[in-house]
Structure 1
């Protein structure tokens, strides 16, 4: 299913115009060479003289969002955390959303070849707005990935090549389109017309900028004191590594992104994680200075592990949204294994179940906790959103094959599923010859030592074939017992050493 196209972008006056053709990477390098010394001196001086400005924020409360059904629903689900400016959730934003379809955006820098579960919550936020009839923009940072967002980072990102960013952008674009398509297929009830969804790359509006022209036009609207007061900047300036000029300017580029989308697409709302509040504020201030328009920022909670660590690339504990990095089975198991204390909150955050249905599922869980019905519902809903109905069925087959010893599930599995399930297992293709025995098979794939020791391992029951122990080394392989109907054999030696065999010549 193709993605619906957004309405025709509208052009508005007072747009900042590009000049010479210079790539953003050259622009960043030029800025770093010419301004790094000045930046260090100014930073040291201002940090001694200025106190950080307090971020104007408003913690969501029911009374603040009671006038708008969408905001109230998102608040109850825990998806919205803060708003900017301070009074946005009380009056202006509800009135704006009630006035007609709005355009909302969220950005994703392609610093890896896949999004992760932390990004999924941002996509779900966009999906809720789209379901309410609003138009959404998913902006891929093909340009800003070359700069590197310092928010929540203790050190500067390694610089990515242009080819890596392009490949990452292509992969992430496909993931976003897949998730939006799955939502439309499996979760939209059709009671209301969906808003449009458009995936953009911010490189398209930076590639023609000249560094001097950009600084002259955009840079004059930013104040060093304000930029230095941002938490993402303060924490890095106090660290041993410090902060490069390139990273310091990231908030300028994200602010300009918001301005550009506001001018071309009429976008007035930006979503971002709580660590993005400073960048959202920069965008609001920049737009207000340049065009005088009122725009808004909404932050989403950061997804953390059971011990409170942020789930993401930097933390090294990411659960990815691409099948070649995290299979449907692995995603399913991630949510199935969540602590009991987290499951209700995750049902509200990561699924589109009505809140009354969430409460009903939780009541069933309390009545029969051993069945873990809430965990299973959570895992199923998220897996279907990310990988579709086929992905969910694959996850269930893998679960049954691995944890319930189901031979039927093994027979229904494809080569790809078996390799996903046993990622570390060697995969062998063998020609099935007449009279092939268990010991022949084990030796051909080097699953056991040569000589008497290997023979003895089979005799003593250390080898399992398709979940059944075998202790007869000279046993000739029997179809449907040792070789499944799909032409595969799952062989295990000991407790953890798996081997996958695909038989040829059947």
Structure 2
């Protein structure tokens, strides 16, 4: 099956500027293509994975993707999808983010020699204002730019000249990559259509109408309940393990709705059509086993964090399920309870009732005693029903942490100092 047919089956294509022409090019020879990301922060989140998974698919099909880190465009700010003007970052912030994102991309895609990582600052830094206006700005009609959705949606609120020129800079990227590396296809989110077509128009004006260049966008991904994919109660799900731990990352995918899991298997894994169809049947016939969710969590976590992270996440999940918390390592405790309420306690022994108040597990001594007697309190996974119990905070987890639990799901963490 060719790459475009596969992408269509996976529901990964929203728009293509010239589908017959792109299909012919791919049938005749491998092509070079690109997708960009601006360094607005030090880490990508899972929403960024959607277009970059396409880069990996094209590479595995024998093509040559370029990943563009926007050291130049990130200094300007893309107005796409924003109702207000973006706050500009300092040059130092942009450069720090470029370094962090480059490292992240190398970890994700460095093993695939077909994929190249480049920075658009390298070909933009020596472009003078006069050259920019004379050689490139002259080819952009303001009326056409105003009609682009990315600009039109901002006219009521206002848009600065800085953000207005963003599409010219992105078009310049496509032109440069086409001329230097024979890049023929730009891939982006649905909100990038106007920027992508601006690049195609510039190439056609400067190189020639017959130059075979194309644009492809991916659909906006929504969950079955209509909300935006990738957001949780705690915020974005990051690829940086310091911001979202591998265990949290695994659990995010494992907890997906039955209505969404097959769609995500198509988008975010490299499982075959037959494997996904088989998992789809299991969702219908034995949904309680969560085989599809497990396959999704295992495959995406391995792609982002490696196989060891998958094994670790599954081990932690099993220990939590059996309430066998004492077998967790200190580092695993940090992973699991990364986002739970955290306090600091002294190394000396504590009366259990006082400890629960200090850790804000309970709001009163009366309620603490009642919950202890009712068997609702566990310390490091062990149920304690003695209100006079003395707790040694250094008895587990290398003396670094103590975990209090109220009921089945309420966990609280204390750092021992």
Correspondence 1:154 to 2:67 = no
Partner Cα separation in structure 2 for residue 486 and residue 411 of structure 1: 12
Q: Secondary structure at the match of 1:268?
A: strand
Does 2:176 align with 1:260?
yes
Q: How does 1:486-497 map to 2 (within 5 A)?
A: 487=399, 488-493=401-406
Map Cα deviations across residues 299-348 of structure 1 (whole Å, 9 max, x no partner): 111222344344479x9953222122222232223222322221111111
Instruction: Map 1:110-189 onto structure 2 (within 5 A).
Output: 110-181=39-110, 184=111
Please tell me whether the aligned partners of residues 136 and 197 of structure 1 are also in contact (alpha carbons under 8 angstroms).
Answer: yes
3-state DSSP class of the match of 2:85? Answer: coil
The aligned counterpart of 1:463 is: 377
- Per the TM alignment, residue 249 of structure 1 is displaced from its structure 2 partner at its CA by 1.0
Residue from 393, 397, 413 that aligns with 1:500:
413
Q: 1:456, 1:267 → 2: CA distance?
A: 69
- Out of 224, 240, 243, which is 1:322 matched to? 240
Q: Could you tell which deviates more after superposition, 226-235 or 118-127?
A: 226-235
The Cα shift of 1:122 comes to 0.8
Q: CA deviation at 1:385?
A: 1.2
Is the Cα contact below 8 Å between 1:122 and 1:300 reproduced in 2? yes
Counterpart mapping for 1:12-411 below 5 A: 69-84=2-17, 88-90=18-20, 92-181=21-110, 184=111, 195-237=113-155, 239=156, 241-292=157-208, 293-311=211-229, 318-402=236-320, 404-407=321-324, 410-411=326-327
Q: Within 2, Cα distance between the matches of 1:167 and 1:176?
A: 14
Q: Does 1:415 align with 2:328?
A: no
Looking at structure 2, the residues matched to 493 and 119 of structure 1 have their Cα atoms a distance apart, in angstroms, of: 37
- Residue 294 of structure 1 aligns to a residue in which SS? coil
Answer yes or no: is the 8 Å Cα contact 1:254–1:279 preserved in 2. Answer: yes
Structure 2: distance between partners of 1:249 and 1:366: 50
Indicate the structure whose relative CO is greater, using CA pairs within 8 Å and at least 6 residues apart.
1
- 2:278 & 2:66 partners in 1: Cα distance? 34
Separation in structure 2 between the aligned mates of residue 417 and residue 455 of structure 1, nearest angstrom: 26
- After superposition, where does 1:464-479 map in structure 2 within 5 Å? 464-475=378-389
Structure 2 distance, partners of 1:451, 1:360, is: 54
Over 3 Å counting, the alpha-carbon distance change for 1:384 and 1:414 in structure 2 is farther
Shift of 1:131: 0.6
Worse-superposed segment, 272-281 or 110-119: 110-119
Kept after mapping to 2: 8 A contact 1:256/1:283: yes
Q: CA separation in 1, counterparts of 2:141 and 2:415?
A: 64
In 1, the alpha carbon distance for the partners of 2:381 and 2:47 equals 36
The answer to whether the 8 A contact 1:133-1:195 is kept is: no
Separation (CA, whole Å) in 2 of partners of 1:368 and 1:450: 45
Cα RMSD over matched residues?
3.1
Tell me the CA shift for residue 255 of structure 1: 0.3
Larger radius of gyration: 1
The 8 Å contact of residues 223 and 260 in structure 2, kept in 1 or not, is answered as no
The 3-state SS of whatever aligns with 1:218 is helix
Shift in alpha-carbon separation, 1:465–1:135, aligned structure 2, 3 A: same
Structure 2: which 5+ runs fail to align?
A: none
Give per-residue Cα distances to partners, 1:211-233, cap 9 Å, x unaligned: 12211111111112221221112
For the residues of structure 2 that align with 1:311 and 1:168, how far apart are their CA atoms? 24
8 Å CA contact retained: 1:405, 1:467: no
Count of residues in Structure 1 that have an aligned counterpart in Structure 2: 413
